[in-house]
Amino acid sequence: MFNKTVLDNGIRILSEEMPNTRSASLGIWVENGSRHESRHQNGISHFVEHLLFKGTERRSAARIAEEMDAVGGVLNAFTAKEYTCYYGKVLDENLPLAIDLLTDIFLHSIFDREEIERERSVILQEISQAEDTPDDYVHDLFSLDFFRDHPLGRPICGEVATVRNFRREDFLEFVQERYLPGRVLVAAAGHLQHEDLVREMEKRLGAVENSKLKINNSKFKEDAPALQSGIFQHSKSLEQVHFCLGVAGIHQSHPMRYAAYILNTILGGGMSSRLFQEIREKRGKAYSVYSFLSSYKDVGYLGVYAGTSIDWVEEVVELVLKEMGRLAAGEIGEEEIERTKNQLIGGMILGLETSDAWMSHIAKNEIYFSKAVTVEEISRKIRSVSRADLIELAGAILRPEGMALTLLGDVEKKKLELSLSI
């Protein structure tokens, strides 16, 4: 059962009661991510996320970890393009501890100067590790190419130059300016009572006030990027060439989003998808190939990733474009559509069997739709998508003039003959 309460200061408390589970998951979400950073701030949201685990007024970093480990729980966080989340998952009997820990780090972190320097080194290693993982790194490069000169295109971890320049005062001002009650929500799911959760959060978060700093509202503007197209080659000595091919798609709340889920799954969303069957199973030209949707509040894209030999790059790109062309031409069968709908609905329901998945589900619904979206509603909307809807969407977005192709590998070894035409 879903419940929502808004505290007097604007903090939203959401919960999904799951009486038949023993776990409880709790997350404090802030509607602030890397897209809300200026160029010189790139990476500060992620850096702050790390620092909130490095000690509070009454707990050291070691004690924070020890208290959660002592009950077998999970305490973690992540930063995305449009939000940051601090969360814990525990047995229901240990929910009071999770609440105490999360609210303590959220409100009372001290940003110790020595911890900042240690964590700066950790994050610089994280950036280096990402660059040494080509199947991940190519996605970052694609974002930089596709969202040229826009915050959505910049890496969440930041860049070496920006991470090196942050000072303690930057973090304190950033938190005071961005972690405002109206941009904060608490989401919980599992074996819990909503009334108890609200009572605890009122005691701990109810007194949080808006920043006394003069807020520059332009920092919160989320202007949509001008999307780029073309072929972008990045040379790196690698055994394979990794590529992302993308085209402008739809934003998170677009009325055609359910059709997009189906279209993406048909193209490359699983082992029975067209790309997997054609490129890996039939031809053996790639170990990993898949398509994906990246959607934000005002923009999105449909992308394809593959890693293959430099001798096969042109063929694999051509095969991807061929499948896109078939979809754009309306070569979609009713049986394939029905199978894909079942795949999506089944995967969604199985994916929501845990309290942490539900916690994330209700939080993202609040961020993007300002309401609860039930499994029944999602299933019904997926079922209602027609073949005509899919053909209309495919024809609208799968256009070669709007495509971008990013390649990472030893591309200087061979002159590649590439063309984005379907």
Q: Which helix (H) or strand (E) holds 74?
A: strand 74-79
* DSSP 8-state symbol, 53: T
Q: DSSP label at 254?
A: -
Q: Which residue has the tokens 């405002």?
A: 180
Q: How far apart are CA 340 and CA 258, in angstroms?
A: 12
Which tokens in the block code for residue 186?
């608490």
| CA 106 vs CA 67, 68, 275: distances in Å | 16, 16, 44
Structure-token pair, residue 12: 């939203």
Q: Which residues contact 407 (CB under 8 A, 6 or more apart)?
A: 138, 231, 232, 233, 234, 241, 242, 243, 313, 416
Which residues have a catalytic role annotated? 49
Spatial separation of the C-alpha atoms in residues 303 and 349, rounded to whole Å: 24
3-state helix, strand, coil in the chain (%, to 5): 50, 20, 30
Q: Centre a 10 Å sphere on the Cβ of residue 370 and count the other Cβ atoms it contains.
A: 10
CA distance 253 to 83: 16
Measure CA of the first residue to CA of the last residue in the chain; give whole Å. 47
What is the number of other CB atoms lying within 10 angstroms of the CB of residue 421? 10
3-class DSSP assignment, residue 302 = strand
Distance of alpha carbon 4 from alpha carbon 16, whole angstroms? 9
- Phi-psi map region of 180: left, alpha, beta (phi>0 left; psi -120 to 50 alpha): beta
Mapped onto helix, strand or coil, the DSSP state of residue 320 is: helix
